[in-house]
Amino acid sequence: MPEDNLNFWDYVKAAFHWKTALPLLGKMPLNKFALAGFAILGFGNPGFWLLGLAYEAALLLMLAGNQRFQNLVRGMRMAEIKQTWSQREAGMLAQLDRQSRLRYESLVERCRSVVQADDVPEIGPTIAGLKSEGLNQLLLIFIKLLCLRCRIISTLQKTDRRDLETDINSLNEKIAKEPETSPTRRALQGTLEIQKTRLENLDKSMENLKFTETELDRIEKQVCLLVEEIAVSRNPEQWSGTLDGVVKSMQGTSKWMSDNSTLFETIERPAASVDLMKNAQPQTIKN
């Protein structure tokens, strides 16, 4: 979850579950131990229960409202997000062929050049966080489309359109020679329906491949445009506006991916389940 989505109750929950590092004992939930102590003492004197509630309320409110604690929680949350994304990215990278992986890594390098442009002192207030978030959205879409492209190409290589069409024509001829009530005719008709469905799926795959190739090319050109604009402009607000436009232009792609979610269901696999991940190098854009 992006840090901007954290609200006060998220900090309260983090404070309640917080563990403190102790010598020789490791991280211990001291807050919960204290509550347990008040609960046990309360059986002897119920006043300890009220004291425990007051202690817990004061502690949680104090920590949740503390800026340093909030910064720490946000930092830990962002670290979790980056780790999760790295695992997802590694799993998807392992599904790509060498050419597709190099294509992705090339785009990552261009995106990094956009973010690192903030290192120039005279540019003004940094917008690295905004740029990183937007560029990582593009990279996520890009790598998913690359995985889909590889899968479609693999499927198309295993299926010959001419063979399907020849088989359909042959089945139609055989069906025409069989009597209406013949069980052989029904079996042939069932086979014919299967082959027709396979041909329809092949046509859909071709169309999906065409769309995927077009979107991949568009993303690459959009990032190239950002790099070129940085080279000729020193205005970070202009870069931010351009990046916003690029991200918004991908809304149609995101909708297509959502409408065709079944195509992407098995793309994001846990990294540990991928045998080829030994060669995968996560390429997230960092601030």
Spatial distance between the Cα atoms of 30 and 189, rounded to a whole number of angstroms: 71
> pLDDT: is 136 or 98 the higher one?
98
pLDDT at 127 over 80: no
- Span of 18-32, 86-100, 151-165, 231-245 with lowest mean pLDDT: 231-245
Task: Give the model's confidence band at 137: pLDDT under 50 very low, under 70 low, under 90 confident, else very high.
Answer: confident
CB distance 205 to 156 below 8 Å: yes
Spatial distance between the Cα atoms of 29 and 15, rounded to a whole number of angstroms: 10
> How much is the average pLDDT of 6-20?
81
Task: Give the model's confidence band at 202: pLDDT under 50 very low, under 70 low, under 90 confident, else very high.
Answer: very high
Q: How many CB atoms lie within 10 A of CB 89?
A: 23
Task: Give the model's confidence band at 275: pLDDT under 50 very low, under 70 low, under 90 confident, else very high.
Answer: very low
Burial of 5 (0-12, 13-18, 19+ CB in 10 A): exposed
> What's the pLDDT score for residue 256?
81
pLDDT at 224 over 60: yes
> What's the pLDDT score for residue 186?
93
> What's the pLDDT score for residue 181?
87
> What's the pLDDT score for residue 278?
38
pLDDT at 219 over 80: yes
> What's the pLDDT score for residue 68?
85
What average pLDDT does the chain have?
78
Report the share of the chain in percent with pLDDT over 90: 24
Task: Give the model's confidence band at 230: pLDDT under 50 very low, under 70 low, under 90 confident, else very high.
Answer: confident
> What's the pLDDT score for residue 173?
93
> pLDDT: is 248 or 226 the higher one?
226
Helix (H, G, I), strand (E, B) or coil at 284: coil
pLDDT at 271 over 50: no
> What's the pLDDT score for residue 236?
60
> What's the pLDDT score for residue 37?
87
> How much is the average pLDDT of 130-143?
75
| pLDDT tens by residue, 163-193 | 999 999 999 999 999 998 889 999 999 999 9
Helix (H) or strand (E) holding 20: strand 20-22
Closest CA to 64 of 53, 54, 52, 74: 74
- In angstroms, the Cα distances linking 196 to 31, 98, 235, 253, 262 are 65, 34, 57, 29, 21
CB distance 52 to 42 below 8 Å: yes
> How much is the average pLDDT of 59-70?
84
pLDDT at 158 over 60: yes
